[in-house]
Amino acid sequence: MKQFDVPVKYRSPLISAVKQRRKDEDRMKKDFTPTLLDGGDLRIYLARHFGFCYGVENAIEIAFRTIDENPGKRIFLLSEMIHNPQVNADLQEAGVRFLQDTYGRQLIPFDVLQPDDIVLIPAFGTTLDLERQLVGKGIHTEHYNTTCPFVEKVWNRSEQIARKGYSVIIHGKPKHEETRATFSHAAANAPSLILNDMKDAIDLAAFIRAEHTPAMFADRFAGMFSPGFDCTKDLQRIGVVNQTTQLASDTQAIAEYLKSVMVDHFNLTLSTVADHFADTRDTLCYATNDNQTAVTGMLEVEADLAIVVGGYNSSNTTHLVELCEQRLPTYFISDAGKIGAVGEILHYDYHTRQERLTEGFLPSGRPLTILLTSGASCPDAVVEQVINRLAELKRVEFRTPIG
């Protein structure tokens, strides 16, 4: 896989050594057991896969190269480059200005843009409407588009099934940048609908079976379907694609459920399933799959607690937290600074969308085992800082930094 040139401050000698050793020992990526950092009284298990993915490193490389190659030019980002506070802060410190926030609310009006300005498209991609607005301002983004190739793969797959007469069902968070972008591209080619979760899928099944009226559909899925969507005919043939940072198991479960509904409703056989349901399993992101599977492998270890590091608005990171907290106490932090000197931790509760302080989160008087991972947009250097902070609190040194 391509090697990217990202700022050295995001790298970690420790994490790089761990990852390289695991890669050398497991080139086919079939071993999802965690890596042990053994400090005696503190044992930290690192997930087999975590941190920057291909799309994130690609976006960071393009962004910082653009800054270096265009001194004196005004450079804007359409919205956050990725969902990581350190990277976005570094870009702003370098003079990059954000046009919108992560929810699409305007921070700087497009009216200020001039044809010689540079506008970077974030890794999540953007909508066709926003692209048209930028082109209308004389701004061309071809060389400054950091859209993840795996997001574009979902767009391409949506277009392919649209050409075959399928409506596109998108499993994603309706307000997320990537979902908005994917919905825009899908809706340009076919009737499209967003499902947030399995509850939405179950409710949709009632409309597939024609158990409710179109008026009820418009009310139930308000703001989540493309203009002109007709539930009486546009649910006859469907395919499910995803926001690439969703839980892969959730996307697969929704797709399998809707497939079973179609099979029952249309009395399909194995040879006729494709008449009403498209096979879109190939839209799941490799990094999302690897990171989530690695957490599942890590959770097989007996531990006292888990720490997940990343941006609080990062969808893929939140899902890692979700997996961990099903098994043991889990703390979601953005950086090592959230861990206090007296054993307290300021962590994010994604259920309430607020930070909260927990005192005495590190059990005392006995050896401690912690599971540790990070989201796909979190620099390895931040993870190493968390490791060092925990080692400082427990007053240990790791005897086997690469176990």
Three-state DSSP at 34 gives coil
Query: In the prediction, which pLDDT does 403 show?
Result: 45
- Token digits of residue 322: 């979700």
pLDDT of 1: 62
Which H or E run includes 141? none
- The answer to whether residue 325 is catalytic is no
User: How would you classify the pairing of strands 35-38 and 42-46?
Assistant: antiparallel
- Which residue has tokens 């190939």? 282
Q: Which domains does the chain have, with CATH numbers?
A: 8-53+287-394 (3.40.1010.20), 54-144 (3.40.50.11270), 149-284 (3.40.1010.20)
Strands lying side by side in the sheet with 330-333: 35-38, 42-46, 368-374, 305-309, 330-333
What pLDDT is stored for residue 61 in this prediction? 96
CB 79 within 8 A of CB 123: no
Per-residue pLDDT of the chain (403 residues; tens, 9 = 90+): 678 899 999 999 999 999 999 999 999 889 999 999 999 999 999 999 999 999 999 999 999 999 999 999 999 999 988 889 999 999 999 999 999 998 889 999 999 999 999 999 999 999 999 999 999 999 989 899 999 999 999 999 999 999 999 999 999 999 999 999 999 999 999 999 999 999 999 999 999 999 999 999 999 999 999 999 999 999 999 999 999 888 888 999 999 999 999 999 999 999 999 999 998 876 778 888 899 999 999 999 999 999 999 999 999 999 999 999 999 999 999 999 999 988 899 999 999 999 999 999 998 877 899 999 999 999 999 999 999 999 999 999 886 544 4
Say how many C-beta atoms besides its own lie within 10 A of residue 40's C-beta. 11
Catalytic residue among 177, 178, 322, 384: 178
Contact yes or no for 56/374 (Cβ under 8 A): no
Count of Cβ atoms closer than 10 Å to residue 287 Cβ: 21
* pTM passes above 0.85: yes
* Angle at the Cα of 34 from the Cα atoms of 338 and 12, rounded to 5 degrees: 50
Quote the tokens at residue 15: 């994490």
Cα atoms in the Cβ-side hemisphere of radius 13 Å centred on 133: 14
